Amino acid sequence: MTAIMAPPPLLQACGLSLHAAGRCLLQDLDWQVFPGERWCVIGRNAAGKSTLLRAIAGLSVPERSGELRWLGRGQAEWSAADAAWARAYAPQQAVDRFPLSVQRLLELSVVRPGPRRAAKLLDDLDAQGLATRGVMQLSGGERQRIALAQCALQGAPLMLMDEPVSFQDPAHQIQVARWLASLVAPGTDAACVVSAHDVNWIVQAATHVLALSGEGRWEAGRREDLINAAMLQRVYGCPWREVGGFWVAA
């Protein structure tokens, strides 16, 4: 009988430590992300979520040690051009310098041609009416959904999104959670790592959670195993209780 081999991780952290302003944000992170997984990084303000996302994306951070690998290769082994084939990154807030149309911006975002199509992504993100608009004319929520479409359209198997629903109203938050679940599902060759604050949105959107508890401490695991009142109190520093299937800070 032939053994079924597990797919290699799209992302691997080996002894990763992050520091900023004299503070330890993360200490000795050993962690793997596999295809089909949707990871959410949680923690209080300034816990290091955005710094971690930047480090994973290969961008500059104040101080780091340890190793990060994409698709089995260390970050330093990837050229800037090749890195765009491995990972895509959507920051908290896009900064636009040129008055491009949304359609043209999406055309320029494709690096690895694949089955994802701009029109379908815009439709899934309730942005189908924005294609002919200029990116500098969009509201914060509209521009954020276009940034998510850019991230997906790039074609990289590893997608990184820093607070992808921070500017979204409740209906669009639900829509983005469903979109992520359809984009990264069991059997697909993609994975995503996102950061977020809303615990109930995280329960909808994530399959796994990486929790940053301060002073370098972290916990990682499946969402249903990790999210509980004790863990949420360790992370956020206040009591929590579950009411009618929803988590509420007490």
The pLDDT, as a whole number, for residue 8 is 83
105 phi and psi, to 5 degrees?
-60, -40
**Which ranges in the chain belong to alpha helices (H)?**
49-57, 80-86, 102-109, 118-124, 140-153, 170-183, 199-205, 223-226, 229-236
C-alpha closest to that of 69 among 81, 61, 77, 80 = 77
Can you give the pLDDT at residue 4?
Answer: 61
Look up residue 127 and give its two tokens. 């942005």
**Coil, helix or strand for 50?**
helix
**How far apart, in Å, are the Cα atoms of 212 and each of 10, 34, 125?**
21, 20, 29
Q: How far are the Cα atoms of 5, 26, 53, 194, 212 from residue 208, in angstroms, in the given order?
A: 21, 18, 16, 10, 13
C-alpha 122/C-alpha 18 separation (Å) is 36
Residue 202's pLDDT is 97
**pLDDT score at 170:** 96
DSSP SS3 for 197: coil
Whose structure tokens read 């080996």? Answer: 14
Q: Are 34 and 220 in contact (CB under 8 A)?
A: no
pLDDT score of 152:
96
Residue 188, both tokens: 């697909």
Q: Provide the sign of the torsion angle of the four alpha carbons 232, 236, 242, 246, taken in this order.
A: negative
Per-residue pLDDT tens digits for 182-202: 999 999 999 999 999 999 999
Q: Can you give the pLDDT of all 250 residues of the chain as single tens digits? A: 555 666 789 999 999 999 999 999 999 999 999 999 999 999 999 999 999 999 999 999 999 999 999 999 999 999 988 999 999 999 998 888 889 999 999 999 999 887 789 999 999 999 999 999 999 999 999 999 999 999 999 999 999 999 999 999 999 999 999 999 999 999 999 999 999 999 999 999 999 999 999 999 999 999 999 999 999 999 999 999 999 999 999 8
Q: What is the pLDDT of residue 114?
A: 79
Domains and CATH numbers, the chain: 11-92+158-249 (3.40.50.300)
φ, ψ of residue 159 to 5 degrees: the values are -110, 130
Res 5: pLDDT: 67
* pTM, full prediction: 0.94
